[in-house]
Amino acid sequence: MTSTPDYSQLFRLDGRTAVVVGAGGIGREAALALAAHGARVVVADLSLDAAQATAAAIAERGGIAEATRLDVLDDAEVEAAAERFGDASALVFTAAMNVRKRMEDYTMEEYDRVVNLNLRSSFQLIRHFGKAFAANGGGSIVGFASIRAQVVEPGQGVYAATKAGLVQLAKTAAAEFGAQGVRVNVVAPGIVETPLTVQIKQDEEWDRAYATKSALGRWSRPDELAGAVVYLASEASSFVTGTTLFVDGGWTAIDGRFTPPTA
């Protein structure tokens, strides 16, 4: 007969280190939530000031955090970060960008910028930290995709392709590193109030259309993604890997934007 686990500790991260790449928006809230559950958090961002601000917010709440600068587009920096923090138990990365244009209007410079930040850097983070985690007995890698990995709209082609690509990278990494105890998963948010969506929020019709598309009838906040991160970083998800967790308010569950009469 096996003993009953202590479920009160299911989400605790005491004594563990979590690396969060991206100090603003979703990344900031993820870092705060991980620290609140006991993790020592390394906050990494291209802007050291932003990383330090998030680390300070953690410290103000009684947590332990370290700030570091990281350019995810610099291969050498990513590899060095994986070597330095390879003994962590979790990696969370959120960095992404979008250029909203129809494919026929895209320039190749814009294409390269979106693909390099959203997909190439994800590939580098996953493979370098995956290798380091595998050598150190395992860990959890959590990337951020989007509902656009599954459903699209005009002007989202390149962004959507990178997010779908991230999903497939995560599945492959889960298969390749799983035997060494490394879990790799993806969170797919719906429409979130972040700097990336300011353009939409400023257009009243666009703003309202997005809000009413979800089953909950509103946008999400960055803090509403934090629970998914804690879950995937903790023992609560010890047998979860290679999956995509949609946190989209029911967006991808609904067929279209029309509610037909039922009587």
The structural domains of the chain, with segments of one domain joined by +, span: 15-249
Residue 259's pLDDT is what? 72
The catalytically annotated residue of 7, 106, 111, 159 is: 159
Residue 4's pLDDT is what? 86
210 is catalytic: no
Residue 52's pLDDT is what? 98
| DSSP string for residues in the chain | -PPPP-GGGTT--TT-EEEEE--STHHHHHHHHHHHTT-EEEEEES-HHHHHHHHHHHHHTT-EEEEEE--TT-HHHHHHHHHHSTT-SEEEE---------GGG--HHHHHHHHIIIIIHHHHHHHHHHHHHHHTT-EEEEEE--GGGT---TT-HHHHHHHHHHHHHHHHHHHHHGGGTEEEEEEEE-SB-SGGGHHHHTSHHHHHHHHHHSTTSS-B-GGGGHHHHHHHHSGGGTT--S-EEEESTTGGGS-SS------
Please report, in tens digits, the pLDDT of each residue of the chain (263 residues total): 567 889 999 999 999 999 999 999 999 999 999 999 999 999 999 999 999 999 999 999 999 999 999 999 999 999 999 999 999 999 999 999 999 999 999 999 999 999 999 999 999 999 999 999 999 999 999 999 999 999 999 999 999 999 999 999 999 999 999 999 999 999 999 999 887 788 888 999 999 999 999 999 999 999 999 999 999 999 999 999 999 999 999 999 988 767 777 76
Residue 5's pLDDT is what? 87
Residue 249's pLDDT is what? 96
Q: Which CATH number applies to 15-249?
A: 3.40.50.720
